[in-house]
Structure 1
Amino acid sequence: MPFDRIIANRVIERLTNLPSVALVGPRQVGKTTLAKMLVKQIDKDSIYLDLESQEDFNKLSNPELYLTERQDKLVVIDEVQRMPELFPILRSVIDRNRENTRFLLLGSASPELLAKSSETLAGRISYIEIHPLLFPEVQQEISFRELWLKGGFPDMLLAASDEVSFLNRLDFIQTYIERELPLLGLSASPVLLRNLLRMIAHVHGNILNYSDISRSLGIDVNTLKRYLDYFEHSFLIRRLQPYYANISKRLVKSPKIFICDSGLLHAVTGIETAEDLEGFAGKGNSWEGFVLQQVISQLKPSVEPYFYRTQDGSELDLVLVKGMTPVVGIEVKYTNTPKLMKGNTVAAQDLGNIPIYVITPSIGEDYELNQQTKVTSFERIFTHLKQAKLI
């Protein structure tokens, strides 16, 4: 069941105005499906190459000649991270015939891939991240509770049963740890990486303490940070950074850490059914991570996400910043009768009396807690953020 993706128009707009676009995201997230849908909307003949196919890989044994001979076509190259040496050649081919809509690259990013391509293709490429399915994309077919439980990877979300979905996610995690991360350049014991992922699941939604985790794993902090860089660049985790423009406050300056996809979090923690999730001790943090990921994944490129917390307890789960200015604060509550803490109000004041949205699972009607704070539901928050031109 193909879903219309929110980023589709942005990909076409960028590809229309640049020689190349890189569509990056984890495996099985829907990059290939989206690319094949988009090329049908572009008025140009296209060629599709999958670098996991030996036949297609061999076609690029002399990439400069192959691509130059097809300069009148849109060339779609899937799994481009398999051939990082291709990027300098793409620059040369593009510069000899500077036209737009030349290349659509699909891949799972890595530190090496990002470094090589950004150095060689600056001014010639736009990176667009494709996230697991978002609620506005699936809401006609899927409830938000099912999306929360199973996550947004299409094969996992649309599986025949909760059990099949759960097993698919376990297989995905195993493949990523044992095959994908090593291919991206991370040489580490799969057992250690699996233990690291479990520890991240345990502290999901909390301030990241590098020292505690490195001590538990028996590795040094710099090695841990390198492992987390790979996890983050391959879209498994998110480190949400703190906002600390106010230097007069004693602020928390470590990031919060999340497993990006709620379905993968639940697989790591053994949550298979909705009943399991209701009894899960980490349900509140899981809900917070799910909501934040859904919001952050839709933000306009000009809007940056942070959290805010001071040592004296003032905090907001999410602060949306446009340019240098905080514009909206968000608190996530897993209750339809939320109460705002004094620390939330103080945080909003610290940030220039910004409006706050308190997001609940399914409250029937929006209402105001005070002049600057509105309680809304998960389903309606996207309407509010769209009206504010943030998504």
Structure 2
Amino acid sequence: MQKYPKIFNLIKRKVDEGRQEYGRYVLTVSSQFTLQHDISETLAGRIGLLQLLPFDISELPDTDIAIENGCYPEQVMRNYNANEAWYGSYIETYIQRDVRSISNISDIHDFSRFIKLLSANISQQLNASHYAKSPGVSVPTIKRWLSVLEISYIIYLLRSYHSNLNKRIVKSPKIYFHYTGLAAYLNGAMGSRWEDGPLAGPIFGNYIVSECIKQIAHRGLRDELYYFREHNGDEIDIIRETRQKRQFLEVKHSMTFRPRMIKHLEKYMDENTKSVLIYQG
């Protein structure tokens, strides 16, 4: 559809001719940027939006394999055959086609290095000034690149929770990849290599966040996701909030339960909050 934007005007005409007939057209686009622009121009008030992400946990035959290999339908259906080559082609296609169509990025090499740098810092707080030093670009450029990566579903920025839990909180967002398989590939941690490496905890935590995102999107919910961290280091990994309730999720990359895993849940929970510990045991 991005290649033929005139189709939006044609669909608008057809929809206006029969406003009581719903669901006649199913449109797919791969870029939020294109979708938002064309909807605002032609289809506002005439379309329902659904966000369709790769397979979530309920659709996967083997969750453990999917954590480090990915959840794209093509990958799962062919049992992850030649998976590293698939990701190599994916990144090259994404940078050469999608990025150039979304934003005028002059130095693709620096942008590629930036993606890899982000993948090595998943589940960590964002510091734009720090990331600007490595590729040697300006902070505004880093922020523009982050926006491009968000729009194209490469990264997800988990915002800090602003509430009355505590006034002394860290406000920077955290970096997550929509797909842990891509982060594992960029760090050479595919297959069983991720479990014993330094990114084992961050990759597992990233997978849980990405699952929350997919389950909300695939069910058409309006839940919001946040994290909470005080300056003293006390933290809630994920806060899932609706208008009616709030859920705290603590994520631990461990096979064994230990009481200290829930100390932050116990500290912040109240009668209106459901607390959940997620670990591998």
**Same fold by TM (over 0.5)?**
yes
Indicate the SS of the match to 2:65.
helix
| Alignment partner, residue 132 of structure 1 | 54
1:337-348 matched pairs, under 5 angstroms: 337-338=256-257, 339-340=260-261, 342-348=263-269
The one of 202, 208, 224 equivalent to 2:142 is: 224
1:103-252 matched pairs, under 5 angstroms: 103-138=25-60, 142-159=61-78, 164-246=82-164, 249-252=167-170
Deviation at 1:298, TM superposition (A): 0.6
| Alignment partner, residue 357 of structure 1 | 276
Matched residue count: 275
Check 1:161–1:113 CA distance in 2 against 1; reply closer, same or farther (3 A cut).
closer
Kept in 2, the 8 Å contact 1:110–1:230? The answer is no
| Alignment partner, residue 84 of structure 1 | 5
Cα deviation code 1:158-216 (max 9, x no counterpart) = 44566x11211121111111222213344332212210111111110111111111222
Counterpart residue type for residue 313 of structure 1: G
Q: Distance in 2 between matches of 1:239 and 1:272?
A: 23
Deviation at 1:257, TM superposition (A): 0.8
Counterpart residue type for residue 153 of structure 1: Y
Q: Distance in 1 between matches of 2:203 and 2:106?
A: 28
Deviation at 1:328, TM superposition (A): 0.9
The one of 163, 182, 189 equivalent to 1:264 is: 182
Indicate the SS of the match to 1:125.
coil
Kept in 2, the 8 Å contact 1:241–1:306? The answer is yes
Deviation at 1:88, TM superposition (A): 4.2
Q: Distance in 2 between matches of 1:353 and 1:247?
A: 13
Kept in 2, the 8 Å contact 1:150–1:165? The answer is yes
Structure 2, unaligned stretches of length 5 or more?
none
1:39-118 matched pairs, under 5 angstroms: 80-98=1-19, 99-118=21-40
Q: Distance in 1 between matches of 2:225 and 2:89?
A: 31
| Alignment partner, residue 191 of structure 2 | 273
Compute the TM-score of the two structures, normalised by the length of structure 2.
Answer: 0.89
Kept in 2, the 8 Å contact 1:314–1:344? The answer is no
Kept in 1, the 8 Å contact 2:177–2:210? The answer is no
Cα deviation code 1:335-374 (max 9, x no counterpart) = 122332543432335xx6622111112x3xxxxxxxxxxx
Structure 1, unaligned stretches of length 5 or more?
1-79, 364-391
Counterpart residue type for residue 208 of structure 2: V
Is the radius of gyration larger for structure 1 or structure 2? 1
Deviation at 1:90, TM superposition (A): 3.1
Structure 2 residue 206 is the aligned partner of structure 1 residue 286: no
Check 1:344–1:160 CA distance in 2 against 1; reply closer, same or farther (3 A cut).
closer
Counterpart residue type for residue 358 of structure 1: L
Check 1:161–1:203 CA distance in 2 against 1; reply closer, same or farther (3 A cut).
closer
Deviation at 1:305, TM superposition (A): 1.2
Compute the TM-score of the two structures, normalised by the length of structure 1.
Answer: 0.65
Q: Distance in 1 between matches of 2:197 and 2:166?
A: 39
Deviation at 1:260, TM superposition (A): 0.9
1:299-314 matched pairs, under 5 angstroms: 299=216, 300=219, 301-314=221-234
The one of 319, 323, 334 equivalent to 2:253 is: 334
The one of 313, 317, 320 equivalent to 2:237 is: 317
Cα deviation code 1:208-237 (max 9, x no counterpart) = 111111222222222222211111111111
Of structures 1 and 2, the one scoring higher in RCO (CA 8 A, sep 6+) is 2
- More strand per residue: 1 or 2? 1
Counterpart residue type for residue 310 of structure 1: E
Counterpart residue type for residue 321 of structure 1: E
Check 1:214–1:326 CA distance in 2 against 1; reply closer, same or farther (3 A cut).
farther
Check 1:120–1:250 CA distance in 2 against 1; reply closer, same or farther (3 A cut).
farther
Deviates more, 1:286-295 or 1:210-219: 210-219
Kept in 2, the 8 Å contact 1:308–1:347? The answer is no
